[in-house]
Every structure is written in structure tokens, then in C-alpha cells.
Structure 1
Amino acid sequence: MADIAVFGGSGMIGSRIVDEALHRGHTVTALARDRTRLPHEDERLRVADADVLDPSAVTAAARGRDVLVSAVGGGDGSGHRRLVEPSARTIVAALRDLREPPRFIMVGGAGSLETVPGKQVWDTPGLPEDVLETMHAHGDALEFLRGVTDLDWTNLSPPAVIEPGERTGGYRTDTDRLVADGRGNSRISAEDYAVALVDEIESPRHRNERFTVGD
């Protein structure tokens, strides 16, 4: 079993990653702003406060762990700009201070995924500026990670739509292409996204690269 720390552990995606990891018997430290959204009775769950933009706090949270997951989000587009790519840089810097850094898995975004050759999701006409800002924040974080060669990292992009729903345990994967059905629908439940992420923790297939999932 793995010892996993999850930044953003009380969020829509992060809380489901915490639940899925606990369900499979892993030990989890949830670093969360809202503790009321976390399970209250599980002997394998620890809850802590830590600023993901504080290198020393991240180093302390990561020390001795097998995996560090970042599922942080900044609310609106400007919030993502201030948090997502800067947090990736902070986490990488913090992990480099550890003699045995954990594997780093980052919840990514769908904007940089390819829809057709030469076109990405963020090229779709009519997207609101706030949505584009969020997409490019995640894209900047991915671009930064792709230049990191001295750590073990993975970026997991969701499909176009991710929302609370049913845990089916099923999903399809790709690397840089948006996963969609025959009618162009691209979606997954947050529960099945968490299944895919914990599967990657247990059976690594995408070291030092981005992959994506969808129903």
C-alpha cells in the first residue's frame, strides 16, 4: 500500500481521489482548506493544513510519502493563473530538496488536448475568456512539467466535462488527444477520474508524460 499526500483534498476532484485511495487501503494525508468535506472516521486518513505555494510546507508534506498528488484549483480563471502553474513550480522545487522525493501526480486540464490534428480544445470558437484563462493556466503547468527530467511526474488531464456522478470503474485513455465518443461527447465522472488516477499510482504506465481519460 502507498502513503499518499493530496493537496486540494477537499475539492470536487481531490476529495474523490482521497476517497478512492482510502477505499483501496492506502494511507492518505489530505491537505485541504475545507476539512468538513473529508471523511471523519478512517484510521488511514490524516488531515493537515499546508500552503501549496510555500516550498517548506510542501517539502514537509511530501517527506516520507510515496506519492504527492496536486488537485488544487483557483476558482475562476485569474485564480487558476495565480495558483496552478506557480504551484507546479513550487512543488517541483520542494521535491528537489528531498533525498528521496515521492512521485508527483498533477491534476491537469483539458484545454491543451488535441481535438483534430493541429487543433486543441482551447481553439474552440466562443469559449469564455474566464474558461480560456483556466485552460491556459493548466497548459502552462504542463509545459513546465515537460521540462522536468530529474523527478518522477505524471499529469492527468480530464475530458471536456468532469462532474460528480457514478463510480463505474471504467474509462478509456489517450495521451494528448481528447477522449470522446462517436457523437463527440467528452466526459467522465469525478469518481471514475479518481479511479484512473489511483490506478496510475498502483500500476504506473505514464511516467514523465501527460495522459487523459474519458468514458
Structure 2
Amino acid sequence: MKKVAIIGASGMAGREIYRLADQENDWIVTGIVRDDQKAHKVLGKTAHLFVADVLAMPIEQLTGFDVIVDAFGTAPVYAGQQVTLAKKLVEVAHQSQVKLIFILGAGSLHTGEDRHLVMEDLAKTPNAETWINTPRQQKRELDFLQGVDNVDWLGISPSITFKAGPATDYELGQDDLLGTTPDKSVTTAGTMAKLIVSEIKTPAHHGRITVVNKA
């Protein structure tokens, strides 16, 4: 049996990952959530949950899994917690050889002929100051992970628009934004779940990759 934990299993991406992973007969899937009422509402009354603040959990409670998927989300003002959690999960992996899968952001991808960061464009949009800390911290998270060479980790950046929606066929890339125009640079939560479950079943990538829905 493969033991899979999904941090943030009641969120937009986490719930899709949980639902798809839970269809695998030989997997035990656990959602790590802060609000069990919300989680049971979106995942069903029989969902297998561990209710806790993952940042406060003892590392020993996270070492019994084969795979941990980090779909953690929080308000922009607290986005630095994503870096804190990444560091904690790497320590878990040092102790247990767990595979780590992180959902990153699009801001750390490159775009344009000069391959500037998408985050530079995002910072110029109206009211960016209210949410720009999230992509900034996601870039810090990636910078940290790219300095880790003794842990099996995969980080997946969605395209410029990451939204709820069903799975489609997808295209993968490395460090450059996919999709020629904003309306084509879209990743749905269903597609992200499809890719993550595929990577758990048959690992094919390491480090950072990016995914875009195919029209």
C-alpha cells in the first residue's frame, strides 16, 4: 500500500488531488487540514483526514508517508509560511526518504525574449501590492528547494492562470511560461491533480516543471 498525504486537501487544488488519488485501490490517502468541517463538506463524510496545523505538527507525525503533496495555501500576508513548510518537509524527507511534491507559483517562471520573471509583470498589475507577496514567497520557496540535492522533490508551477476546473490533456515545460497568450496560459486544478497523481504512480520528473492545459 502506498501512503499519500495531501497538505491543504480542502483547497482548490488539494481537493482535486485528494479525490483523484483516493480512487487508487492500493493507496491510503490522508488529507492534512486545519478545518475538518470544511474538508468533510468538500471531500465527503468518509474522507480520511488528519486535523492539525501542519506547521506545528511534530516531524515524527509526517514520517510515515511514502509521498507528501504540499498544496498548502494561505493569505498573502502569511505567504512566508510556504517557505517555512518547505524547510520542514525537507527535514521530514531527510528522516524518512519520503517523496515531496510541491505546488509552486507561476511568478518564478521566465517569459519574453529576455526571459524575465513572470513576477516582474505581475508586480505591474493593478492592486498587485495586496497579493504580490504570495508569488514572491513562492519564488523564495523554489530558490530554497533548488539548493536541496539530497531529497527526492518535485515542484510544479501552474501557468499564469490557475483556477478551478476539470482535467484536460496537458503540456509540460521546465522554467519558461507556457501558453502564447494570457487566455491560453491556463492550468486547471483538475489538470494539476492529473499530473500529480501520474507522477506518484510513475515518477518521471525531478526538480521544477510547469504545466499548461491543452485546448
Q: CA RMSD in A?
A: 1.9
User: 1:70 Cα deviation (Å)?
Assistant: 0.8
Residue 61 of structure 1 is matched in structure 2 by: 62
**Amino acid of the residue matched to residue 211 of structure 2?**
V
Distance 1:95 1:55 in 2: 15
SS of the residue 2:194 aligns to: helix
Residue 5 of structure 1 is matched in structure 2 by: 5
Distance 1:52 1:33 in 2: 8
Matched, 1:111 2:107: yes
SS of the residue 1:193 aligns to: helix
Alignment of 1:1-215 (within 5 A): 2-25=2-25, 26-35=27-36, 36-38=38-40, 39-40=43-44, 45-54=47-56, 56=58, 58-63=59-64, 65-75=65-75, 77-81=76-80, 83-96=81-94, 98=95, 100-116=96-112, 117-124=114-121, 126-127=124-125, 128-168=128-168, 170-181=169-180, 185-207=184-206, 209-215=207-213
Distance 1:145 1:52 in 2: 19
User: 1:181 Cα deviation (Å)?
Assistant: 3.9
Q: How many aligned positions are there? A: 205
Structure 1 residues 98-147: Cα deviation after superposition (integer angstroms, max 9, x where no partner): 2x321011111110101123311111162302332110110101110111
Change (3 A) 1:150 1:54: farther
Change (3 A) 1:55 1:37: closer
Distance 1:93 1:55 in 2: 13
Distance 1:46 1:20 in 2: 14
8 Å Cα contact 1:52-1:91 kept in structure 2: no
8 Å Cα contact 1:159-1:213 kept in structure 2: yes
Distance 1:131 1:113 in 2: 17
8 Å Cα contact 1:31-1:48 kept in structure 2: yes
32-41 or 117-126: bigger deviation: 32-41
Distance 1:183 1:147 in 2: 31
- Per the normalisation by structure 1, the TM-score is 0.87
